[in-house]
C-alpha cells in the first residue's frame, strides 16, 4: 500500500516482519540455476545491476509513530554479484547452494534484501544462486524479478523493470530546514497510518466476534479430504496433535533435511491425467505421501496441507500477496489411485478463498502493528496452527530457463528461516514443505523437512521422496 510515496508493509508481510523483529529470524527464499556452460562475469554483473533497479532492491524503515507500519524506500547503493573463484565438484553443488541459503547475510533495514552469487563447476558449468528475504518478496514475485533481470541481460538493452520507480528515495536527513519539514511530513504520514491501523483493528475485532460462530460451523463440516480455509502461520506453536510430541521435541536442533527431484514436465502431466488429477493435485499427493510413508501420520490420521495462493492484483509490486488455504486429508493420498478427491478438495478450498470466505481471525492482523511483541508472541504461537505439509506451487516460468543464452538444466526454488534458536520452543515449520517450479520442459520439487524424528538427515528425506515418486511411476532424478 502506497502512503505519501511510502509503500507500507501489508497484511501478508506481517508474519515475516514479526519473526524478524521479535525472534530475529530471517526468512530467506532461494532460486538456483545449474547452467550448461560458463556464464561470463559481465553477464552476472549485468544481472545484478538489473536486480538493483528492480522490485527486490529496497530498504525498510521503521516508523516514527507507534502503531504505524514500517515502510520501504529505495536502497541507496546497488549490489554486485558475488563470484566464487574456486570451482566445485558436481556432487558439491547442493552443498554450495545450501550453505549460501543458510548463511547469506541479508538485512532489510540495511538495504541488503537480496544477493546474487555464482560459482563454476570443475566440468565447466555454472551454478547461480539468487537469495531474497521473504519480507520483501513472495515466491512468484521473486521469480518475476529474476525473469525480468534475465530478459534484460539476454536482450542487452534496457527493458521496463517493475517495482522500483514508485518508491521514494531514502531519507538522508541533511542539516537544513527542508529536512526538518521532511521529518515532520514523515511523522504526520506515520500518525495517519497509525490511526488507520487502530480503526482497522477495531473493525477486525468486530468482524471476528460476528464470524466465530460461522467458522466453528465450517470447521465442524471439514475433514476427510475436504477443505477449510486458514492462515498459514510460520512461527511454529509448541503444541500439536494429541499423542504427538511437541515440535521443538521433534526438531531439537532446528536443522531441516533437504531433497530435490527433477522430473520431465510431460511425464508429470501424463501421470496426473492418468489418475484423474492435475499437476497441482499430483504435487500435493506426492508431498503429503512422502510425509505419510515416512511414518509421520498413518493413513486414516488427518493431516493438514497448507496451500499458498497468489492473490496479487495487476500492477501490485508490493512484497507479499499470498493467502493460504488448508486442505485436510484423512484417507489420502494412496499412491497410484484416483487423484479426484484431492483435486476436488483443493478446488473447494480455492473457491472458498475466491468467494472471500476465510477464517475470521485473519481480520485481527492489524493488531500485529499495535500490540507489543511480548504480548503477540504467545498469541501467534498458541494452538496447533502449523500445517503438516506446505505445498507451494510456483507454476511455470519460461523466463528462468536460460542465463545469458546458456540453457539451465535445473532451476529450483526453496526457502528456510535463518536464526532459529534450538534452545527456544519456536520453529519455522512442521512436517514437510515443498516448492514446485516448472522451467522449460522440466519440473523441480524442492523439499525441506522439519520433523527431525521422521527425517533425521537428507538421505532419509531423499529416500522417502524417491519412494513416493516410484509408487506413482513418475520417472525422476533426485539429489
Strand partners, 289: none
Which position has the grid cell 534450538? Answer: 422
CATH number of 217-398+420-478: 3.30.559.30
Query: Is the pLDDT confidence value at 188 over 80?
Result: yes
Whether 458 and 270 have beta carbons less than 8 Å apart is answered as no
What's residue 172's pLDDT? Answer: 36
Query: Is the pLDDT confidence value at 447 over 80?
Result: yes
What's residue 73's pLDDT? Answer: 94
β-pairing verdict for 114-120 and 82-83? parallel
Distance CA 357, CA 364 (A): 15
Query: Is the pLDDT confidence value at 5 over 90?
Result: no
How does DSSP classify residue 11? G
* Residues forming CATH 3.30.559.10 domain(s) in the chain: 2-186
- Give me the percent of the chain exceeding a pLDDT of 90: 69
Whether 226 and 425 have beta carbons less than 8 Å apart is answered as no
**Residues 6 or more apart from 175 whose CB is under 8 A from it?**
none
CA angle (211, 216, 221) in 5-degree steps: 130
pTM equals: 0.89
What's residue 162's pLDDT? Answer: 55
The pLDDT tens digits for 308-366 are 999 888 777 778 988 889 999 999 999 999 999 999 999 999 998 888 777 766 777 88
**Residues 6 or more apart from 347 whose CB is under 8 A from it?**
none
Distance CA 300, CA 345 (A): 16
Most confident of 303-312, 421-430, 465-474: 465-474
Phi then psi dihedrals of residue 408, to 5 deg: -90, 115
Print burial letters for 245-257: b (CB count within 10 Å at least 16), e (below 16): eebbebbeebebb
Q: How many CB atoms lie within 10 A of CB 267?
A: 16
Distance CA 253, CA 163 (A): 38
Distance CA 360, CA 210 (A): 8
Q: Where are the alpha helices (DSSP H) in 366-440?
A: 373-380
The pLDDT tens digits for 209-255 are 776 655 555 555 444 433 333 333 334 444 445 567 888 899 999 99
CATH number of 2-186: 3.30.559.10
Q: What is the mean pLDDT of the chain?
A: 87
What's residue 242's pLDDT? Answer: 55
Q: How confident is the model at residue 176 (pLDDT cuts 50, 70, 90)?
A: very low
As given in the structure block, the three cell numbers for residue 35 are 547452467
What's residue 222's pLDDT? Answer: 44
What's residue 235's pLDDT? Answer: 41
Distance CA 414, CA 476 (A): 18
Overall average pLDDT of the 388-409 stretch: 96
The pLDDT tens digits for 69-126 are 999 999 999 999 999 999 999 999 999 999 999 999 999 999 999 999 999 999 999 9
Distance CA 477, CA 479 (A): 7
* Residues forming CATH 3.30.559.30 domain(s) in the chain: 217-398+420-478
Amino acid at each position: 500500500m502506497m502512503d505519501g510515496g511510502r509503500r507500507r508493509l501489508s497484511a501478508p508481510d506481517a508474519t515475516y516482519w514479526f519473526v524478524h523483529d521479535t525472534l530475529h529470524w530471517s526468512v530467506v527464499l532461494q532460486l538456483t540455476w545449474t547452467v550448461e556452460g560458463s556464464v561470463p562475469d559481465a553477464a552476472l554483473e549485468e544481472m545484478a545491476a538489473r536486480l538493483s533497479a528492480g522490485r527486490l532492491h529496497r530498504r525498510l524503515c521503521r516508523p516514527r509513530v507507534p502503531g504505524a507500519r514500517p515502510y520501504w524506500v529505495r536502497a541507496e547503493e546497488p549490489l554486485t554479484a558475488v563470484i566464487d573463484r574456486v570451482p566445485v565438484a558436481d556432487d558439491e553443488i547442493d552443498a554450495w547452494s545450501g550453505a549460501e541459503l543458510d548463511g547469506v547475510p541479508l538485512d532489510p533495514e540495511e538495504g541488503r534484501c537480496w544477493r546474487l552469487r555464482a560459482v563454476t563447476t570443475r566440468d565447466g558449468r555454472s551454478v547461480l544462486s539468487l537469495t531474497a528475504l521473504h519480507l520483501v518478496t513472495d515466491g512468484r514475485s521473486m521469480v518475476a524479478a529474476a525473469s525480468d533481470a534475465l530478459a534484460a541481460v539476454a536482450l542487452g538493452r534496457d527493458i521496463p523493470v517493475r517495482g522500483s520507480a514508485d518508491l521514494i528515495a531514502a531519507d538522508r536527513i541533511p542539516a537544513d530546514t527542508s529536512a526538518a519539514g521532511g521529518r515532520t511530513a514523515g511523522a504526520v504520514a506515520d500518525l495517519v497510518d497509525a490511526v488507520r491501523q487502530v480503526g482497522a483493528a477495531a473493525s477486525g475485532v468486530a468482524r471476528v466476534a460476528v464470524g466465530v460462530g460461522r467458522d466453528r460451523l465450517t470447521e465442524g463440516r471439514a475433514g476427510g479430504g475436504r477443505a477449510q480455509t486458514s492462515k498459514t502461520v510460520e512461527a511454529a506453536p509448541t503444541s500439536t496433535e494429541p499423542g504427538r510430541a511437541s515440535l521443538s521435541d521433534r526438531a531439537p536442533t532446528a536443522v531441516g533435511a533437504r531433497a530435490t527431484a527433477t522430473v520431465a514436465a510431460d511425464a508429470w502431466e501424463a501421470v496426473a491425467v492418468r489418475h484423474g488429477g492435475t499437476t497441482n493435485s499430483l504435487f500435493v499427493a506426492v508431498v503429503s505421501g512422502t510425509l505419510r510413508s515416512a511414518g509421520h501420520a498413518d493413513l486414516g490420521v488427518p493431516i493438514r496441507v497448507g496451500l499458498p495462493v497468489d492473490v496479487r492484483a495487476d500492477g501490485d509490486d508490493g512484497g507479499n500477496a499470498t493467502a493460504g488455504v488448508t486442505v485436510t486429508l484423512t484417507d489420502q493420498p494412496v499412491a497410484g489411485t484416483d487423484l479426484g478427491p484431492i483435486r476436488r478438495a483443493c478446488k473447494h478450498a480455492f473457491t472458498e478463498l475466491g468467494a472471500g470466505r476465510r477464517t475470521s481471525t485473519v481480520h485481527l492482523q492489524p493488531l500485529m502493528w499495535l500490540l507489543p511483541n511480548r504480548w503477540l508472541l504467545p498469541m501467534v504461537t498458541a494452538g496447533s496452527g502449523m500445517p503438516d505439509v506446505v505445498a507451494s506451487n510456483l507454476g511455470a516460468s519460461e523466463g528462468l530457463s536460460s542465463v545469458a543464452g546458456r540453457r539451465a538444466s535445473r532451476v529450483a526454488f526453496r526457502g528456510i528461516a535463518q536464526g532459529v534458536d534450538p534452545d527456544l520452543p519456536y520453529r519455522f515449520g512442521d512436517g514437510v514443505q515443498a516448492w514446485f517450479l516448472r522451467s522449460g520442459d522440466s519440473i523441480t520439487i524442492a523439499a525441506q523437512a522439519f520433523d527431525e524424528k521422521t527425517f533425521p538427515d537428507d538421505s532419509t528425506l531423499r529416500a522417502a521422496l524417491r519412494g513416493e515418486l516410484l509408487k506413482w511411476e513418475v520417472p525422476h532424478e533426485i539429489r
